[in-house]
Amino acid sequence: MKKYKAVQVEIQEVDTVVCNLCGRTISEHGGNHDCHVSVEKKWGYGTKWDGETHSFDLCETCYEELISRFKIDIARSGIFLL
Ligand SMILES: [Zn+2]
C-alpha cells in the first residue's frame, strides 16, 4: 500500500519572448507566440560546441532579413491567397 501526500509543484511558462538579434519584445504575458521563430539545437559530441544546447528566438523582421541572405530559397507550404 502506498500513502500519498499533497505536494506543491511550481511550473514555468513563457511570459515574454525577446528577439535575440534585435532585442525587441516579440510577445508579452502569454501573447501570440506564433509570430516568431524559435530554434533549439543540441550539438553533438565532437562538434564545435561539443554537447551544448543552443536556443534563440527571432522576430518576423529579423527572420525575413536572415532568410533573404540564403542562397537557396526556403521551402514553403501552406495556403496562398492569390
Ligand atoms: Zn528581431
Which one, of 11, 39, 15, 13, lies nearest residue 27 by Cα? 15
The pLDDT of residue 27: 85
Q: Is 34 a member of any domain?
A: yes
Higher pLDDT, 79 or 26: 26
Report how far ligand 1's centroid is from the alpha carbon of 63 (Å): 7
Task: Quote the ligand 1 centre to 1 CA distance (angstroms).
Answer: 55
Task: Examine the pLDDT at 33 and tell me if it is beyond 70.
Answer: no
E-state strands within the chain: 17-18, 25-27, 36-42, 53-59
Tell whether 35 is covered by a domain: yes
pLDDT at 14: 86
Is residue 30 assigned to a domain? yes
Of the ranges 28-32, 36-40, 77-81, which is most confident? 36-40
Residues with CB under 5 A from ligand 1 (ion): 19, 21-22, 59, 62
Q: How far is the CA of 6 from the centre of ligand 1 (A)?
A: 43
- CA 49, 54, 56 angle in degrees (round to 5)? 145
- Domains: count for the chain: 1
Domain that holds residue 21: 17-68
Q: Each residue of 1-17: pLDDT tens digit?
A: 999 999 999 999 888 99
Report yes or no on 11 lying in a domain: no
**Cell numbers linked to 44:** 553533438
On whether residue 6 sits in a domain, the answer given is: no
pTM metric for this prediction? 0.76
Cα 59 to middle of ligand 1, angstroms: 4
Instruction: For residue 80, tell me if it sits in a domain.
Output: no
